[in-house]
Chain A
């Protein structure tokens, strides 16, 4: 066999053809088309293909759109912080405190990731609804006389469902980071007289930081781009950036404007992902085995 450590063989690159075609046809060219379309304009049913910046102008001058984006960013940050608050202690518990049944608990923590997204939305609608689980329980006990209406169709219901969706996405990178921490570091720290809290703050948190950043970014992007959850649980006060984009392709039927809104979201996501690959852990964790 001829070994060419530095030379490239055509045979090797044949393996790369299918994935490159896939990348071009299903990712890059559609993104380019979207970018191009964002400079078109739409007049009802007809798309005017002359180059124009008007979609972006509308976005940046009409405060309606930027305020919805800003509202969505704030909600996404809140969701990410709370998802970390739920997933980080859980990951720490499973990784450091559990000896028996750790694999089972790990599986239990990530199973919701792969279990139907729509079913989980249905579950939260039925928990928070007017005749839902919480209201009927409180009514039955007699704590309230009328159903609580603030539970559903607002930002609260969106946030709680998004947190529910995001927890496993945060858990996996955080757990992966925690598993890499040598267990004798915590022993060393406690031998030197640090309490558990001190060890946690000075040893665990800094070493788990790449995982925490990755988890934060994952949940931020999921929360920012989601449109199904605000559609289902948001009501009128819960119109998020995702709905705004979706509505351009649905009833508003302004595809060029939708393309521009989508491209703005794409830019935000890419910028954040670019930053993560520098500061967070590069391993997605849940993508590889």
Chain B
């Protein structure tokens, strides 16, 4: 009897928890939904919205400055990702494989651009580039983006390297592979999905970044900085349309990314190589 009561109590409390969870999810997703709805509203309102329109999306395509800001963001994002992949991957190998005194402090310092408020990264970089007399340009924005994408890539890759352990490389070297062969035939295929995932994640973050970029932008603007400028004149329907597109673009990137990172990335890879092995043994 007592136990039964307790179980009922348990059910009730977990029901309450679930309701609470649903409310949090509504809180998280309702605002995004609002942006989507507004972008299709012909009357600029939601109440009394009659019908849907693609007018604001069409207007986007006619806005040359907006389109070029979009391409600027792609250029900065892709460049930042490539630089961050080189810096972050070599850094990950360094920190996972090499021990040296002060490694803990070094690691925390590398994490700083991600842990410190963006405003600090923005203003320190601004002061730095101004003291060096570098004019604000695409290059300065790129510097800002490399500052925060590098630790992002590094910790993704070092996570994968640590889970892999050193044994695969040892085995390869015991079998006579030189370091280049070890990297190319053993390590690289094993971290490939992590590289893709980290690159996608870094691109997503770079594509959305404004806090640091805003400090480092002159007349050459990335998309978020351009949108931010548009917002000074109130929220026009065009802002909703571009927001909706940005939202969908980011979501697509994140979903794509989730296939490559974490355990999902590893199983994905293992499955593939298993298939390859199976195919090979079939042909034999």
Residue A124 CB within 8 A of the other chain:
yes
Interface-lining segment among A62-70, A106-114, A205-213? A106-114
Number of A-B contacts (CB under 8 A): 256
Residue A201 CB within 8 A of the other chain:
no
Contact check, A221 vs B117: say whether CB atoms are below 8 A apart: yes
User: How distant is B235 from chain A, measured CB to nearest CB, in Å?
Assistant: 6
Residue A227 CB within 8 A of the other chain:
yes
Contact check, A249 vs B224: say whether CB atoms are below 8 A apart: no
Given known A-B contacts A15-B90, A245-B119, A112 and B28 have beta carbons under 8 A apart = yes
Given known A-B contacts A19-B94, A33-B127, A133 and B34 have beta carbons under 8 A apart = yes
Q: Say what secondary structure dominates the interface of chain B.
A: helix
Instruction: Mark out the residues of chain A between 146 and 201 whose CB falls within 8 Å of any chain B CB in the assembled complex.
Output: 164, 167, 195-197
Which range contains the number of B residues in contact with the other chain?
Answer: 35 or more
Instruction: Mark out the residues of chain A between 121 and 151 whose CB falls within 8 Å of any chain B CB in the assembled complex.
Output: 122-127, 129, 131, 133, 136-137, 139-140
Residue A79 CB within 8 A of the other chain:
no
Query: What separation, in Å, do the CA atoms of A232 and B262 have in the docked complex?
Result: 36
Residue B60 CB within 8 A of the other chain:
no
Contact check, B124 vs A287: say whether CB atoms are below 8 A apart: no
Interface-lining segment among B64-72, B207-215, B275-283? B207-215
Contacting residues, chain A, for B78 (C-beta < 8 A): none
Contacting residues, chain A, for B254 (C-beta < 8 A): 111, 114-115
Instruction: Mark out the residues of chain A between 207 and 253 whose CB falls within 8 Å of any chain B CB in the assembled complex.
Output: 221-222, 224-228, 232, 242, 245-246, 249
Given known A-B contacts A28-B109, A287-B155, A136 and B45 have beta carbons under 8 A apart = yes
Contact check, B14 vs A221: say whether CB atoms are below 8 A apart: no
Contact check, A126 vs B38: say whether CB atoms are below 8 A apart: yes
User: How distant is B277 from chain A, measured CB to nearest CB, in Å?
Assistant: 25
Residue A16 CB within 8 A of the other chain:
yes
Query: What separation, in Å, do the CA atoms of A289 and B250 have in the docked complex?
Result: 19
Residue A46 CB within 8 A of the other chain:
no
Residue A93 CB within 8 A of the other chain:
yes
Query: What separation, in Å, do the CA atoms of A133 and B235 have in the docked complex?
Result: 13
Residue B55 CB within 8 A of the other chain:
no
User: How distant is A187 from chain B, measured CB to nearest CB, in Å?
Assistant: 13
Residue A86 CB within 8 A of the other chain:
yes
Query: What separation, in Å, do the CA atoms of A119 and B116 have in the docked complex?
Result: 22
Q: Which partner residue on chain A sits nearest B20 by CB separation?
A: A89
Query: What separation, in Å, do the CA atoms of A1 and B174 have in the docked complex?
Result: 8
Residues on B facing A (Cβ under 8 Å): 6, 9-10, 13-14, 17-18, 20-21, 24-25, 27-32, 34-35, 38, 45-48, 86-88, 90-91, 93-95, 97-98, 100, 106, 108-120, 123-128, 130-131, 143, 146-147, 150-152, 154-156, 158-160, 173, 194, 197, 201, 204-205, 207-211, 214-215, 224, 227-228, 231, 235, 239-240, 243, 246-247, 250-251, 253-254, 258, 261-262, 265
